[in-house]
Amino acid sequence: MPTIEEILKEIRPEFDFTASQDFVGDGMLDSYDIVTLVSDLDKAYGISISGLDIVPENFQNVASIQKLLQKYGRP
Amino acid sequence: MNLIFSHRRISGLLAVVPANERSFVDEMANFSFPPARSLKLKLVMGYDKHRIVDGPVCASDLACFGMEHLFASGKLGRDDCDALIVVTQSPDYLMPPTSSVIQGRLGLKQDIFCLDINQGCAGFLIGLFQAFSLLEQPAVRKVVLINVDVMSRKTSHRDRNSYPLIGDAASIAIVERSEDGTPIHANLKVDGTRREALMIPAGGLRLPSSPETAVLEDDGENNFRAKDNLRMDGTAVFNFVQVEVPPMIRDLLQTAQADMEDVDCFLFHQPNRFMLQKLADQMKVPYEKMPSNIVEHYGNSSGVTIPMAIVHNLRERLTRESICACLAGFGVGLTWCSMLMPLGPLDFCELIDYR
């Protein structure tokens, strides 16, 4: 199973996602990258992230994405 | 607001799409994004082909083409149109109304009620509400409801967030009285405080079009659009749909004393595949009951996507039988509405190319 960092790297290979705490604010993810990320996380972890959870705050950094996945019972 | 109607039916449906088909892959070079990133988005959103007008084709051109087809094939008599409702966000002119343009071009009788409605993705249902109400008048026996948009002409070719999903199209629904008294439940909400989530900033009187409003500007995400172009706040629209639509459908079914299982088909406006599938997941509706394949074949044609979904997916079935359909439209305004109604059997259900 790919890690969150690996999934992010595949979407935007030009960025180091460990170096930012605010992916959206730092211009590393735009709204459509978040859509791609949700689709990849759904597939990788066998879940369906609710549309209600697809808000920029849940995709600010690796920790917030991890917290979101925990809500769906994923490590 | 809850609405209720009865003894009303859609008796026929025609969709018209431009013959000119473009593919997302061919247009990727217009966007300032690496191809791999765009291709990934293509898979998620369902971008593939879309139909857009070639040249200065207007709303009334698509509408008149469809109407002439109905006259020529005997599906509608020229003198049978007692009311003509045109729902569009891309009118031929600021004035006169596009319904008057169409009435004049087609040579329809003067004894007719013509009405334009400025609405988008909720426009098929808003148009049906008006059509149902007009049928209260004894003089009105047949309402022609035309939904039409040529939004490709108002969308920047360098805006990857909007252009790939846009489709141009028209639909013509014939609405009549019915002997079937099954209640048709509907509801409608509007929140104008969020009106800027979907808008064309320039071209009206608040900000008239000028050389300045035609200048392309970077939105900060490498999409280039002018104030004359369609502007969509994707995050705001997505959240609006996910928050407002499921409770609206729950309220509708509760009012109608119906269950999700009673609905044969959920025919929702189709902004893109991702948004619809997230709605289906949230509402626990199987994907096969909620078609999401219009954007990939034709593009998002605002108020025409619901009739397109009917014609593309249910053409054969609806000429034979009736189904319990849950329709929902949501978009510009912001406006959201839904309706539970028996749909079919239809006298005709057809899709034609505009050439």
CATH number, domain of B234, equals 3.40.47.10
Which segments within B164-221 are labelled E, that is strand? 169-177, 184-190, 198-199, 217-218
Q: Is B226 exposed, middle or buried (0-12, 13-18, 19+ CB in 10 A)?
A: buried
Domain of residue B56 covers 1-355
Residues 6+ apart with CB under 8 A from A63: none
Residue among A48, A52, A56 minimizing CB distance to B242:
A52
Residues 6+ apart with CB under 8 A from B286: B280
ipTM, 2 decimals? 0.89
Tokens of B29: 């070079």
Q: Is residue B241 within 8 angstroms of chain A, CB to CB?
A: yes
Residue B30: per-residue pLDDT:
86
Q: Is residue B68 within 8 angstroms of chain A, CB to CB?
A: no
Residue in chain B lying closest to A40 (CA) = B44
Q: CA B297 to CA B120: how far, in whole Å? A: 20
Q: Is residue B282 within 8 angstroms of chain A, CB to CB?
A: yes
**Cβ-based contacts of B241 with chain A (< 8 Å):** 51
Residue in chain A lying closest to B232 (CA) = A31
| pLDDT for A2 beyond 90 | no
**Cβ-based contacts of A51 with chain B (< 8 Å):** 238, 241-242, 275, 278-279, 281-282
Where residue A23 sits, what CATH number does that domain have?
1.10.1200.10
pLDDT (mean) for A49-69: 94
Helix locations, B147-261, DSSP H: 234-255
Number of separate domains in chain B: 1
Residue A32: per-residue pLDDT:
87
Mutate one of A15, A28, A35, A54 to test the B interface: name it (highest B CB count within 10 A).
A35
* Report field, pTM of the whole predicted structure over 0.90: yes
Chain pair A-B, CB pairs under 8 angstroms: 52
| pLDDT for A75 beyond 80 | no
**Cβ-based contacts of B280 with chain A (< 8 Å):** none
How close is the nearest chain B Cα to the Cα of A7, in Å? 12
Residue, of B215 and A31, whose pLDDT is higher: B215
Closest CA to B176 of B200, B150, B142: B142
Number of H helices, E strands in chain B: 9, 17
Domain of residue A39 covers 4-71
217-236 in B: which are within 8 Å (CB) of A? 220-221, 234-235
Q: Is residue B197 within 8 angstroms of chain A, CB to CB?
A: no
Mean pLDDT across chain A, nearest whole number? 91
How close is the nearest chain A Cα to the Cα of B355, in Å? 34
Angle at B349 between CA B343 and CA B353, to 5 degrees: 140
Residue among A12, A30, A39 minimizing CB distance to B44:
A39
Number of separate domains in chain A: 1
How close is the nearest chain B Cα to the Cα of A39, in Å? 7
pLDDT, averaged in runs of 10, over chain B (355 residues): 98 98 90 83 89 97 98 97 98 97 98 98 98 98 98 94 93 97 97 97 97 94 92 92 97 97 97 94 96 95 97 96 97 98 97 97
Report whether B323 contacts B265 (CB < 8 A). Answer: yes
**Cβ-based contacts of B238 with chain A (< 8 Å):** 31, 51, 54
Residue B28: per-residue pLDDT:
87
